[in-house]
Amino acid sequence: MIWQNNKLWFASFFASLVPLLFLLLDVIFDNLGGNPIQALHIRLGDWSLRFLCLTLAITPIQTMTQWKGMADYRQLFGLYAFFYASLHLLVYLAVDHGFNWSLISIDIIESPYIWLGVLAYVIIFLLGITSSKWAMKKLKKNWKKLHRLVYIASVASVIHYFWQLKGNLAEPLLYLILIVLLLGFRILTWLTNQQLAKMMVPKGRDL
Amino acid sequence: MIIKTEPEISSSEITDEQVFKNRRQIIKSLVGLGVAGQISPLLANSDKTQTQVAGLKPTPVDVVKNYTNYYEFTFNKDDSTKLAQKLVIDPWSVEITGEVEKPTTFHLEDILKMQAIEERVYRFRCVEAWSMVVPWQGFSLANLLKQVQPLSSAKFVKFTSIYQPENMPNQEKKAMLNFPYVEGLRMDEAMHPLTMLAVGMYGETLPKQNGAPLRLVVPWKYGFKSIKAIVKIELLKQAPLTTWNQLAADEYGFYANVNPDVPHPRWSQNSERELGSGFFTQRRQTELFNGYGEQVASLYNDMDLRHFF
């Protein structure tokens, strides 16, 4: 399935676990500052967002380098975005709230920034469980439509990040710029394709 | 729901008078030596029973010292520890003016000489939904205000922080907030016995990042009301425009009373993370007026707390 007999792929697979390793070391050595639970939470959210950006970067890179076979990496990094987002959610539920569902439900209802996090996670979850080649075949044309939701997930996660902050907007701003660039690339490609399509049609005829 | 296990906050938080007087002697002698900035070692030992009586367990001091919002320096809570050390706090004076009989500029040393320093262990609840328990050393704001004889026309109190752009990077850059930082209280809130000016914590001189040399502490309000490094106190006829309120009036109200039932527009205020608690511990259920309702609820008897948030 997702296991590929390819050195670069394996290297990417293990490299993507390094942030988790560092995080565990910081937990063990109590290196997370005065509010370690929040720090843990933010670090996991950050990594999920980074992998999401990386996933979105694959298609533009492929277009520019003409390098075939990048789809496997898109799947790998997408699954890591899903993995870190799941840990992020688990920390929220277990580490921060000790599974106290009444506290959790009030918190979610009253916090608009969490609604966007939930939206992003639901999408990433759906994409994660339908990422295999088998699901791709099963879903046929719908697969592509479904997986376009990643654009909504990426925008929702950045706003999710922005909305919980009082100050210090520098870091989410960086992600926002990155995501705007990555989505902008797609819009540009789409527009270019429209232009090309028009040029294919002889003058005087409707498209 | 969390079942509240914390004992009610009682008036026993207030240190008994003999201890105050001893403290006062200590401060006096220190001031005499010209080391008002070094109240630390002598304050450290006598307050332990005090803390236990209050039923609030202080947060580890290292957490309190290294997790501070001080936007004049940085937007980052752990960088302010280092950056704030640049602040020059010696000499320091506080001007008290406005609707008062005797406008006065006090040198910090004179304030310390006049006021009996007492320890109060208060829960400190940030608007960002975390809280800590801090043993502060200080005195009632009312005691200082009485000295300048407020006029009956005084309805509000405006506090202003130090403006020192050469040492405060975000003041220099004019970043985000309008500096100097301004906060305000209604006169009855300012005169309330729980409202204090702190000069120390954990038996030591107040660290710079925690608001040295003189800060406000209003335990039933969100932390941003408890303005740091105060240089000016004005008694006014009308409510002052306060810093966070100016930035986002729909998010940070003038009252800013801790209230689990009035969420911030973007996040819930129903629960809080107690700093110093371990992994897998539940958040604490936030209390109305941060648990000080018995003492302060009467100030807001006929007010709609959702409207005046």
Residue A126 domain flag? yes
Residue B3 domain flag? no
From B127, B268, B280, residue closest to A110, measured CB to CB: B268
Provide ipTM, 2 decimals. Answer: 0.86
Residue B191 domain flag? yes
Residue A2 domain flag? no
DSSP chain B: -PPP-SPPP-GGGSPPHHHHHHHHHHHHHHHHTT-TT--HHHHSSTTHHHHHHHT-PPPPHHHHHT---BTTTBSSTTTHHHHGGG---SS-EEEEEESBSS-EEEEHHHHHHHSPPEEEEEEEE-TTSEEEEEEEEEEEHHHHHHHT-B-TT--EEEEEE---TTT-HHHHTT-SS-SSPEEEEEHHHHTSTT-EEEEEETTEEPPGGGTTT-EEE-TTB-GGGS--SEEEEEEESSPPPPHHHHH-TTTS-SS-B--TTS--SSS--SEEEETT--TTPPPEEPPGGGGTHHHHGGGGTT--TTT--
Task: Provide the 10 A C-beta neighbour count for residue A57.
Answer: 18
Residue A91 domain flag? yes
The domain tally of chain A equals 1
Average pLDDT, chain B: 88
Average pLDDT, chain A: 91
B128–chain A Cβ distance below 8 A for any pair: yes
B279–chain A Cβ distance below 8 A for any pair: yes
Domain that holds residue B204: 11-300
pLDDT tens-digit series, residues B194-212: 999 999 999 999 999 999 9
Q: What is the pLDDT of residue A169?
A: 74
Residue B5 domain flag? no
Q: What is the pLDDT of residue A198?
A: 80
CATH number of the domain residue B274 falls in: 3.90.420.10
pLDDT tens-digit series, residues B221-261: 999 999 999 999 999 999 999 999 999 999 999 999 999 99
Contact call for A166 and B128, based on CB within 8 A = yes
Residue B183 domain flag? yes
Q: What is the pLDDT of residue A165?
A: 87
Residue A92 domain flag? yes
Domain that holds residue A182: 7-196
Contact call for A103 and B270, based on CB within 8 A = yes
Residue B131 domain flag? yes
Chain A positions with Cβ closer than 8 Å to B? 27, 33-38, 40, 94-98, 100, 102-103, 106-107, 109-114, 163-164, 166-170
The domain tally of chain B equals 1
Residue A206 domain flag? no
How many beta-carbon contacts under 8 Å exist across A and B? 82
Residue B77 domain flag? yes
Residue A207 domain flag? no
